[in-house]
């Protein structure tokens, strides 16, 4: 869900970063990539400060609307989305940068507006980048632990993800077998996803 929700935003941010060359782009670049270098626990803590009852968004936007995010599955989705977002944006951007600028110019001179060009030229030609970015983000989301446990807790059946469950079973005296089973499930999914990603990456070729 985090991957699906992030997709339109990731595409939009990648588009802006690829095609809008202005001075403020450095700030956006740093902001987007910050979760990649920050410890996930820090990201989770910052999200808690932002979305919590006394947070900027939590107090002034969410509370008046009666929305509670912290310690719900929605918080887990947000944490996963924030942590994986840079990976998605980077992949889509790589796909977009591989598109020859002349193809975009050709589209415009043939009467297509910018949105039309995005839909009919940029999206299809960066599709492999979009797909690769989505897979990378999904894979990153599978392993997400630090940010999730802080904003969503570890509530079985509600906010407990595979890594959180493994953590819990490893901590309990008789949970080794289940923890190992979950590890195998986790490894299998990751291997499948990464092999698929590698296969796709090799097929990303420069358009035209």
Partner 1 sequence: MELYFDAQKKLNKFFLDMNFTIEGDRIGIFGPSGCGKSTLVGLIAGLHHPDRGLIRVNGQAVFDSTEKVNIPVEHRRIGMVFQRPHLFPHLSVKANLLYGYKRCAPGERKITLENLVDVLQIGDLLHRGVNNLSGGEKQRVAIGRAVLSNPRMLILDEPLSALDLSLKFQIIPFLKKSCEAFSIPYLFISHSLTEMRIMTDRVLSVVDGRVSGLMTAEELARDAMGKGPVPYVNLLQLKGPRRIDGMQAYRWGDSELLISGNGKEQALYELLSTDIILFKRHPEAISARNLLRCRVSELFEAGSRIGVVLACGDEKLVAVIVRESVNDLDIKEGVEVYAAIKATAFRELG
- Does 103 sit near partner 1 (CB under 8 A)? yes
Give the Cα separation of 16 and 137 in Å (integer).
19
Least distance in angstroms from the C-beta of 9 to partner 1: 24
Q: Which helix (H) or strand (E) holds 192?
A: helix 176-202
62, 125, 147, 149: residue in contact with partner 1 (rule CB under 8 A): 125
CA atoms within 13 A on the CB side of 89: 25
- Does 21 sit near partner 1 (CB under 8 A)? no
The 82-101 site mask, x for binding partner 1 (CB under 8 A), equals: ------------------x-
**What token pair was written down for 96?**
């977009």
5, 9, 39, 116: residue in contact with partner 1 (rule CB under 8 A): 116
Give the Cα separation of 35 and 84 in Å (integer).
8
Least distance in angstroms from the C-beta of 105 to partner 1: 5
- Does 204 sit near partner 1 (CB under 8 A)? no
- Does 208 sit near partner 1 (CB under 8 A)? yes
Select the span of 12-20, 47-55, 112-120, 129-137 touching partner 1 (CB under 8 A). Answer: 112-120
- Give the list of residues 6+ apart from residue 20 with CB closer than 8 angstroms, or none: none
Q: Helices H, strands E: what count in the chain?
A: 13, 0
- Give the list of residues 6+ apart from residue 38 with CB closer than 8 angstroms, or none: none
- Does 155 sit near partner 1 (CB under 8 A)? no
**Site residues (vs partner 1, CB under 8 A):** 100, 102-103, 105-113, 116, 120-121, 124-125, 207-208
């Amino acid at each position: 869900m985090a991957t699906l929700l992030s997709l339109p935003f990731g595409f939009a941010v990648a588009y802006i970063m690829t095609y809008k060359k202005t001075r403020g782009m450095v700030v956006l670049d740093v902001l987007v990539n910050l979760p990649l270098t920050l410890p996930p626990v820090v990201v989770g803590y910052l999200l808690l400060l932002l979305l919590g009852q006394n947070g900027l968004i939590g107090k002034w936007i969410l509370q008046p609307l009666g929305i509670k995010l912290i310690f719900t599955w929605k918080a887990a989705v947000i944490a996963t989305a924030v942590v994986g977002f840079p990976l998605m944006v980077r992949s889509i951007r790589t796909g977009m940068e591989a598109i020859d600028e002349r193809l975009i110019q050709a589209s415009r001179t043939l009467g297509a507006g910018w949105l039309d060009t995005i839909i009919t030229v940029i999206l299809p030609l960066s599709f492999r980048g979009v797909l690769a970015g989505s897979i990378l983000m999904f894979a990153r989301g599978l392993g997400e632990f630090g940010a999730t446990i802080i904003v969503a807790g570890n509530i079985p059946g509600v906010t407990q993800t595979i890594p959180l469950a493994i953590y819990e079973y490893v901590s309990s005296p008789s949970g080794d077998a289940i923890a190992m089973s979950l590890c195998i499930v986790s490894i299998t999914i990751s291997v499948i996803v990464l092999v698929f990603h590698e296969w796709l990456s090799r097929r990303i070729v420069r358009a035209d």
